[in-house]
Amino acid sequence: MIPEELQKFLVKVDSEIEKEEIINLPIEHIKGIFAKVAKKLKNIADIKTISDLANKTVPEDKIQALKLSDISENDLDKWQSIGTYITEFIQDKIEPTEKKKILLAGLENAGKTAILNILTKRFSLSNLQPTKNVDVAQLTSKNVIFSIWDMGGQEEYRKIYVAHPERFFTGVYAVIYVIDVQDKDKYEMSFSYLTKVLDIFESFSENPDFSIFLHKTDPQVYDQIKEDLEEIEEKVKEQFKDHQFYYRIFRTSIYNSVLTESNMLDSLSNLFEITKHPDISPELLDSIQNIYNTFVSFSYIVEEKFQYIDERLNNIENQNRHLLNSLSATKQTVGATNQIEMPFKEPIPLLQERPPASPREALTSELKRLFQKRKMA
C-alpha cells in the first residue's frame, strides 16, 4: 500500500503495491516525468528507476547532453530530490511528521535566531552566534507542539538546503521568511532565495502557509525606511502572484516589547485559520487586517514613548549616586571639623537620616499616587 506521504509524488501506481517495491518502479511513475522525458533519462543518463534517481550521480557531460535534449538541470535536481525523498522514506530514514514543523528561513544576519528566541521565550538577544546549518526548537501552544527549524542563512548552508530539499522542505506546516529591511544591499539576494524556496515547495507538492517578516522595522528608523517597506511588500506580492501559497506580510522588530511579549505564534495561527475560512467576507478580512495594523501601530507608539526609560532611570541613579558620594565627603569634612574645640558646651544633635529611595522606587511610588488620584477624581 502506498503511504499517504508518497501519494502526491506518484501516478499510475497499483494501490496494493508493497511499500518496499516502490523504489524499483520505473521513473515514469513520478509526476512530471512523461514517457518522452523518461526515455531520454534512460538513454542518456542510464536512469531507469526511482532508486536510480536517488543514487546515481550524473556526470557533467551527461548533464550537458540532457540540456541539449530540453531537460534542464533544475528539473533533474528536482526529480533526483524527489527520488531521494521516496527512497529514504521507504528505508525508514525519514519519519512521518507528527509535529507541526515551521521553517524560519532567510539570509544571514536577518534576525531569524532573535525571532526564534522570542517565540520560544528565550530572551537572550545579545551576542547571538550565526546558526550553523539548522537549529531546532520546540514550542507548545494550545496543546500543539511546533517544531521550529531555524535555518542558517549563510550561502554555504543555503546551497545545502537547495541541493537536498527532501531533508528540509517536506512535512512543513508553515514558513516564516525573514527579510532584513535595513540591509538594502541584500534585497535582491533575499528575493532570489525566496523564489527558490517557493519553487522547491511547489515541486514537492507542499502547501505551507507563509509569514513574510519585514524584520528590523525598528521604531527609531521607521521614517527612513517607510518607502523601502512599501517597495518590498510589492515585490513580495509579485513573487507570490504565480504561486498558490497562502501568505501574509508582517512588519516586525525585536525592540517592540508590546509585540514580543504577546504570543505572536498564536496570533498568526489564529489569523491564518480565520482568514482561510471559505465563507469569510472581504469586509471581515479587511477588518481583521485593520485590527492587526492598528495593534502594531499602537505598539510602536508605546515603544517609542518608553524606549529611553531605562537610560533615563540609569542617568538619575548615577546622579543620585554622585550626590550621595558628595554628601559622604561633606560629612567626613564636618566630622573632622567637629574635632576642633567649639564654643558650645553641648554638641548639637544631628538629624536622623532616612535611607534614600532608589529612583525606580520613587518613580513607582509617584505613578501609584497619580493613578490613585485619577481613581478618586
CA dihedral of 293, 297, 298, 300, whole degrees rounded to 10: 140
Confidence of residue 341 (pLDDT cuts 50, 70, 90): very low
The DSSP 8-state label assigned to residue 172 in this structure reads E
* Neighbour order of strands in the sheet with 100-106: 134-141, 144-151, 100-106, 172-180, 209-215, 247-251
Cα separation, 103 vs 97, whole angstroms:
13
Interval 211-262: pLDDT, tens: 999 988 877 787 888 889 999 999 999 999 888 898 988 888 876 544 444 4
- Boundaries of CATH 3.40.50.300 in the chain? 100-306
Cα separation, 117 vs 224, whole angstroms:
27
State CA 128 to chain mean position distance: 15
Confidence of residue 330 (pLDDT cuts 50, 70, 90): low
Interval 77-116: pLDDT, tens: 888 888 888 888 888 776 554 568 889 999 998 888 777 7
DSSP string, 344-363: -SSPPPPPPPPPPPPHHHHH
User: Which cell numbers in the block locate residue 128?
Assistant: 547571538
CATH topology of domain 100-306: Rossmann fold (3.40.50)
Cα separation, 263 vs 284, whole angstroms:
23
pLDDT at 47: 93
Residue 279 corresponds to which amino acid? D
Interval 137-191: pLDDT, tens: 776 655 567 788 889 889 999 999 998 888 889 889 889 999 999 999 999 999 9
Element (H, E) at 247: strand 247-251
More confident position, 341 or 331 = 331
